[in-house]
Amino acid sequence: MNTTARILDGKQISAVLRGEIKKDVDAFKQQTGSAPGLATILVGDNPASHTYVANKIKACQEVGMLSLHFPMPASTPIEELKKKIRELNADAKVHGILLQLPLPGNADSTPVLEIMDPGKDADGLHPYNLGQLFEYKSWAEMSSGKSPLSCTPHGVIQILLRSKIPIAGRRAVVVGRSKLVGKPVAMMLQALDATVTMCHSRTRDLDAVCREADILVAAIGQPRFVKASMVREGAVVIDVGINRDAAGKLCGDVDFEAVEPKASAITPVPGGVGPMTIAMLLFNTLQLAKKHVKS
Protein backbone atom coordinates (compact mmCIF):
# COMPACT_ATOMS: atom_id res chain seq x y z
CA MET A 1 0.00 0.00 0.00
CA ASN A 2 1.33 3.41 -0.98
CA THR A 3 1.52 5.61 2.12
CA THR A 4 3.18 8.61 0.49
CA ALA A 5 0.72 9.90 -2.09
CA ARG A 6 1.99 13.01 -3.84
CA ILE A 7 -0.18 16.00 -2.97
CA LEU A 8 -1.09 17.93 -6.13
CA ASP A 9 -1.03 21.43 -4.67
CA GLY A 10 -3.40 23.57 -6.72
CA LYS A 11 -2.64 26.60 -4.60
CA GLN A 12 1.06 26.42 -5.45
CA ILE A 13 0.46 25.67 -9.15
CA SER A 14 -2.05 28.51 -9.42
CA ALA A 15 0.43 30.92 -7.80
CA VAL A 16 2.98 30.09 -10.52
CA LEU A 17 0.31 30.49 -13.20
CA ARG A 18 -0.82 33.84 -11.78
CA GLY A 19 2.78 35.03 -11.84
CA GLU A 20 2.97 34.15 -15.53
CA ILE A 21 -0.34 35.91 -16.17
CA LYS A 22 0.81 39.04 -14.33
CA LYS A 23 3.89 39.30 -16.57
CA ASP A 24 1.67 38.92 -19.65
CA VAL A 25 -0.78 41.54 -18.32
CA ASP A 26 2.11 43.98 -17.78
CA ALA A 27 3.25 43.38 -21.36
CA PHE A 28 -0.32 43.81 -22.63
CA LYS A 29 -0.58 47.16 -20.84
CA GLN A 30 2.69 48.35 -22.35
CA GLN A 31 1.57 47.31 -25.81
CA THR A 32 -1.99 48.68 -25.71
CA GLY A 33 -2.04 51.32 -22.95
CA SER A 34 -4.95 49.57 -21.25
CA ALA A 35 -5.58 46.57 -19.01
CA PRO A 36 -7.58 43.43 -19.76
CA GLY A 37 -11.02 43.98 -18.22
CA LEU A 38 -13.22 41.42 -16.45
CA ALA A 39 -16.84 42.21 -15.58
CA THR A 40 -18.47 40.09 -12.88
CA ILE A 41 -22.24 39.88 -12.35
CA LEU A 42 -23.68 38.52 -9.13
CA VAL A 43 -27.43 38.12 -8.83
CA GLY A 44 -28.80 37.71 -5.31
CA ASP A 45 -27.13 37.31 -1.92
CA ASN A 46 -25.89 33.72 -1.83
CA PRO A 47 -23.03 33.85 0.74
CA ALA A 48 -20.88 31.28 -1.08
CA SER A 49 -21.29 33.13 -4.38
CA HIS A 50 -20.35 36.41 -2.68
CA THR A 51 -17.14 34.78 -1.42
CA TYR A 52 -16.32 33.30 -4.83
CA VAL A 53 -16.83 36.63 -6.60
CA ALA A 54 -14.82 38.56 -3.98
CA ASN A 55 -11.93 36.12 -4.50
CA LYS A 56 -12.15 36.57 -8.28
CA ILE A 57 -12.14 40.36 -7.99
CA LYS A 58 -9.13 40.25 -5.66
CA ALA A 59 -7.25 37.91 -7.99
CA CYS A 60 -8.00 40.24 -10.92
CA GLN A 61 -6.56 43.21 -9.11
CA GLU A 62 -3.47 41.27 -8.00
CA VAL A 63 -2.45 40.57 -11.61
CA GLY A 64 -3.23 44.13 -12.72
CA MET A 65 -6.49 43.55 -14.56
CA LEU A 66 -9.41 45.94 -14.60
CA SER A 67 -12.23 44.56 -12.45
CA LEU A 68 -15.81 45.77 -12.90
CA HIS A 69 -18.45 44.33 -10.57
CA PHE A 70 -22.21 44.50 -11.01
CA PRO A 71 -24.26 43.20 -8.05
CA MET A 72 -27.97 42.76 -8.80
CA PRO A 73 -30.83 41.88 -6.42
CA ALA A 74 -32.30 38.36 -6.41
CA SER A 75 -35.57 39.82 -7.71
CA THR A 76 -33.89 41.03 -10.94
CA PRO A 77 -36.04 40.00 -13.95
CA ILE A 78 -34.27 37.88 -16.56
CA GLU A 79 -34.83 40.56 -19.20
CA GLU A 80 -32.99 43.12 -17.05
CA LEU A 81 -30.11 40.69 -16.59
CA LYS A 82 -30.00 40.17 -20.36
CA LYS A 83 -29.93 43.95 -20.84
CA LYS A 84 -26.87 44.21 -18.59
CA ILE A 85 -25.13 41.44 -20.55
CA ARG A 86 -25.82 43.30 -23.81
CA GLU A 87 -24.36 46.50 -22.34
CA LEU A 88 -21.18 44.67 -21.35
CA ASN A 89 -21.00 43.04 -24.80
CA ALA A 90 -20.77 46.55 -26.24
CA ASP A 91 -18.32 47.94 -23.65
CA ALA A 92 -14.82 48.17 -25.15
CA LYS A 93 -13.21 48.16 -21.67
CA VAL A 94 -14.65 44.71 -20.98
CA HIS A 95 -12.84 41.72 -22.52
CA GLY A 96 -14.37 39.04 -20.31
CA ILE A 97 -17.78 38.63 -18.68
CA LEU A 98 -18.49 36.29 -15.77
CA LEU A 99 -22.04 35.54 -14.66
CA GLN A 100 -21.73 33.89 -11.24
CA LEU A 101 -23.80 30.70 -11.07
CA PRO A 102 -26.12 29.38 -9.85
CA LEU A 103 -28.78 32.03 -10.39
CA PRO A 104 -31.29 32.51 -7.54
CA GLY A 105 -33.78 29.67 -7.31
CA ASN A 106 -31.54 27.63 -9.63
CA ALA A 107 -33.09 29.47 -12.58
CA ASP A 108 -32.00 28.26 -16.02
CA SER A 109 -28.88 30.24 -16.96
CA THR A 110 -28.76 29.11 -20.60
CA PRO A 111 -31.04 31.86 -22.04
CA VAL A 112 -28.84 34.46 -20.31
CA LEU A 113 -25.54 32.89 -21.34
CA GLU A 114 -26.75 32.73 -24.95
CA ILE A 115 -27.01 36.54 -24.97
CA MET A 116 -23.35 36.88 -24.03
CA ASP A 117 -20.81 37.54 -26.78
CA PRO A 118 -18.93 34.18 -27.07
CA GLY A 119 -15.78 36.27 -27.55
CA LYS A 120 -16.23 37.70 -24.03
CA ASP A 121 -17.18 34.45 -22.29
CA ALA A 122 -14.59 34.38 -19.50
CA ASP A 123 -16.05 31.24 -17.92
CA GLY A 124 -16.07 29.24 -21.17
CA LEU A 125 -19.70 28.22 -20.63
CA HIS A 126 -21.41 29.83 -23.62
CA PRO A 127 -23.12 27.08 -25.68
CA TYR A 128 -21.00 28.06 -28.70
CA ASN A 129 -17.74 27.69 -26.79
CA LEU A 130 -18.80 24.40 -25.22
CA GLY A 131 -19.76 23.18 -28.69
CA GLN A 132 -16.32 24.09 -30.00
CA LEU A 133 -14.85 21.34 -27.82
CA PHE A 134 -16.32 18.78 -30.23
CA GLU A 135 -14.60 20.44 -33.20
CA TYR A 136 -11.03 20.36 -31.94
CA LYS A 137 -8.95 17.40 -33.05
CA SER A 138 -6.07 17.76 -30.57
CA TRP A 139 -5.06 19.44 -27.32
CA ALA A 140 -2.76 21.76 -29.27
CA GLU A 141 -5.79 23.02 -31.20
CA MET A 142 -8.08 23.05 -28.16
CA SER A 143 -5.63 25.09 -26.08
CA SER A 144 -4.63 27.46 -28.89
CA GLY A 145 -6.85 30.29 -27.65
CA LYS A 146 -9.38 30.05 -30.50
CA SER A 147 -12.11 29.87 -27.87
CA PRO A 148 -12.10 30.01 -24.04
CA LEU A 149 -12.08 26.72 -22.17
CA SER A 150 -14.29 26.11 -19.13
CA CYS A 151 -12.30 27.24 -16.12
CA THR A 152 -12.65 24.32 -13.71
CA PRO A 153 -12.05 21.54 -16.27
CA HIS A 154 -9.10 23.46 -17.70
CA GLY A 155 -7.78 23.86 -14.16
CA VAL A 156 -7.91 20.08 -13.74
CA ILE A 157 -5.92 19.61 -16.94
CA GLN A 158 -3.33 22.20 -15.93
CA ILE A 159 -2.80 20.43 -12.60
CA LEU A 160 -2.09 17.19 -14.49
CA LEU A 161 0.14 18.79 -17.14
CA ARG A 162 2.13 20.98 -14.75
CA SER A 163 2.58 18.06 -12.37
CA LYS A 164 3.90 15.99 -15.30
CA ILE A 165 1.24 13.31 -14.84
CA PRO A 166 1.19 11.10 -17.97
CA ILE A 167 -2.19 11.28 -19.75
CA ALA A 168 -1.78 9.85 -23.26
CA GLY A 169 -2.83 6.21 -23.41
CA ARG A 170 -4.04 6.22 -19.80
CA ARG A 171 -7.50 5.13 -18.66
CA ALA A 172 -9.37 8.13 -17.25
CA VAL A 173 -12.68 7.81 -15.42
CA VAL A 174 -14.79 10.92 -14.86
CA VAL A 175 -17.50 10.58 -12.20
CA GLY A 176 -20.15 13.18 -13.02
CA ARG A 177 -21.56 14.37 -16.35
CA SER A 178 -22.44 18.04 -15.79
CA LYS A 179 -21.81 20.62 -18.49
CA LEU A 180 -19.80 22.62 -15.92
CA VAL A 181 -17.16 19.96 -15.27
CA GLY A 182 -17.82 16.34 -16.26
CA LYS A 183 -18.51 16.68 -19.97
CA PRO A 184 -15.85 19.30 -20.81
CA VAL A 185 -13.11 17.64 -18.74
CA ALA A 186 -13.85 14.35 -20.52
CA MET A 187 -13.43 16.10 -23.89
CA MET A 188 -10.16 17.69 -22.76
CA LEU A 189 -8.77 14.37 -21.52
CA GLN A 190 -9.69 12.77 -24.85
CA ALA A 191 -7.88 15.59 -26.68
CA LEU A 192 -4.82 14.61 -24.63
CA ASP A 193 -5.23 11.01 -25.87
CA ALA A 194 -6.61 9.45 -22.70
CA THR A 195 -9.21 6.70 -23.01
CA VAL A 196 -12.14 8.19 -21.12
CA THR A 197 -15.11 6.60 -19.38
CA MET A 198 -17.87 8.84 -17.99
CA CYS A 199 -19.82 7.61 -14.98
CA HIS A 200 -23.10 8.85 -13.49
CA SER A 201 -25.96 7.84 -11.21
CA ARG A 202 -27.07 5.04 -13.59
CA THR A 203 -23.63 3.48 -14.06
CA ARG A 204 -23.69 -0.21 -13.17
CA ASP A 205 -21.03 -1.48 -10.77
CA LEU A 206 -19.56 2.00 -10.33
CA ASP A 207 -16.89 0.81 -7.91
CA ALA A 208 -15.46 -1.63 -10.46
CA VAL A 209 -15.47 0.95 -13.27
CA CYS A 210 -13.65 3.48 -11.07
CA ARG A 211 -11.04 0.88 -10.14
CA GLU A 212 -10.04 0.70 -13.82
CA ALA A 213 -8.88 4.31 -13.73
CA ASP A 214 -5.28 5.45 -13.98
CA ILE A 215 -6.72 8.96 -13.55
CA LEU A 216 -9.94 9.34 -11.55
CA VAL A 217 -11.79 12.69 -11.65
CA ALA A 218 -14.61 13.12 -9.12
CA ALA A 219 -17.12 15.89 -9.89
CA ILE A 220 -20.53 15.00 -8.48
CA GLY A 221 -21.05 17.31 -5.49
CA GLN A 222 -21.49 14.59 -2.85
CA PRO A 223 -19.31 14.72 0.28
CA ARG A 224 -16.70 11.95 0.44
CA PHE A 225 -18.56 9.84 -2.12
CA VAL A 226 -15.45 8.20 -3.58
CA LYS A 227 -14.23 5.56 -1.14
CA ALA A 228 -10.99 3.60 -1.02
CA SER A 229 -12.78 0.58 -2.51
CA MET A 230 -13.32 2.61 -5.72
CA VAL A 231 -9.64 3.45 -6.24
CA ARG A 232 -6.95 1.11 -7.50
CA GLU A 233 -3.41 1.19 -6.12
CA GLY A 234 -1.34 3.94 -7.73
CA ALA A 235 -4.18 5.89 -9.32
CA VAL A 236 -4.09 9.67 -9.70
CA VAL A 237 -7.17 11.18 -8.02
CA ILE A 238 -8.52 14.63 -8.86
CA ASP A 239 -11.23 15.89 -6.50
CA VAL A 240 -13.32 18.70 -8.02
CA GLY A 241 -15.99 18.71 -5.30
CA ILE A 242 -16.40 21.42 -2.67
CA ASN A 243 -18.92 20.38 -0.02
CA ARG A 244 -19.63 20.63 3.67
CA ASP A 245 -20.20 17.46 5.64
CA ALA A 246 -22.76 16.95 8.39
CA ALA A 247 -20.39 18.59 10.88
CA GLY A 248 -19.98 21.64 8.64
CA LYS A 249 -16.40 20.76 7.68
CA LEU A 250 -15.22 21.59 4.16
CA CYS A 251 -14.56 18.44 2.14
CA GLY A 252 -14.46 17.14 -1.41
CA ASP A 253 -16.19 14.35 -3.31
CA VAL A 254 -13.36 12.00 -2.30
CA ASP A 255 -12.85 10.46 1.14
CA PHE A 256 -9.34 11.93 1.28
CA GLU A 257 -8.10 10.18 4.44
CA ALA A 258 -9.15 6.75 3.15
CA VAL A 259 -8.10 7.22 -0.48
CA GLU A 260 -4.75 8.98 -0.05
CA PRO A 261 -2.82 5.84 1.03
CA LYS A 262 -3.87 4.06 -2.20
CA ALA A 263 -3.28 6.93 -4.63
CA SER A 264 0.03 7.84 -6.25
CA ALA A 265 -1.12 11.48 -6.37
CA ILE A 266 -4.21 13.32 -5.12
CA THR A 267 -5.62 16.84 -4.91
CA PRO A 268 -6.69 18.12 -1.48
CA VAL A 269 -9.86 20.06 -0.64
CA PRO A 270 -9.43 22.92 -0.08
CA GLY A 271 -6.28 23.89 -1.97
CA GLY A 272 -6.59 21.63 -5.00
CA VAL A 273 -8.81 22.40 -7.99
CA GLY A 274 -10.48 25.48 -6.44
CA PRO A 275 -7.53 27.91 -6.77
CA MET A 276 -6.97 26.71 -10.35
CA THR A 277 -10.50 27.69 -11.36
CA ILE A 278 -9.78 31.34 -10.54
CA ALA A 279 -6.37 31.20 -12.24
CA MET A 280 -7.96 29.88 -15.43
CA LEU A 281 -10.57 32.67 -15.29
CA LEU A 282 -7.71 35.20 -15.33
CA PHE A 283 -6.03 33.23 -18.13
CA ASN A 284 -9.21 33.29 -20.23
CA THR A 285 -9.70 37.03 -19.70
CA LEU A 286 -6.15 37.72 -20.84
CA GLN A 287 -6.52 35.48 -23.92
CA LEU A 288 -9.81 37.16 -24.85
CA ALA A 289 -8.19 40.60 -24.49
CA LYS A 290 -5.29 39.55 -26.76
CA LYS A 291 -7.73 38.17 -29.32
CA HIS A 292 -9.71 41.43 -29.23
CA VAL A 293 -6.56 43.47 -29.94
CA LYS A 294 -5.64 41.23 -32.88
CA SER A 295 -9.10 41.61 -34.40
196-224 tens-digit pLDDT: 999 999 999 999 999 999 999 999 999 99
**pLDDT tens by residue, 50-95:** 889 999 999 999 999 999 999 999 999 999 999 999 999 999 999 9
CB 194 within 8 A of CB 170: yes
Q: How far apart are CA 153 and CA 147, in angstroms?
A: 14
pTM, to two decimals: 0.95
Can you give the pLDDT at residue 3?
Answer: 64
Q: How far apart are CA 44 and CA 90, in angstroms?
A: 24
Q: How far apart are CA 82 and CA 87, in angstroms?
A: 9
**214 an active-site residue?**
no
Q: State the pairing for strand pair 265-266/37-43.
A: unpaired
Catalytic residue from among 123, 214, 239, 255: 123
Catalytic residue from among 24, 84, 100, 287: 100
Q: Which DSSP letter does residue 3 get?
A: -
Catalytic residue from among 56, 120, 183, 262: 56
**pLDDT tens by residue, 258-268:** 999 999 999 99
List b or e across 222-245, with b for residues whose CB sees 16 or more CB atoms inside 10 angstroms: ebbbbeeebbeeebbbbbbbbbee
How many whole angstroms from its chain centre is CA 251? 18
**12 an active-site residue?**
no
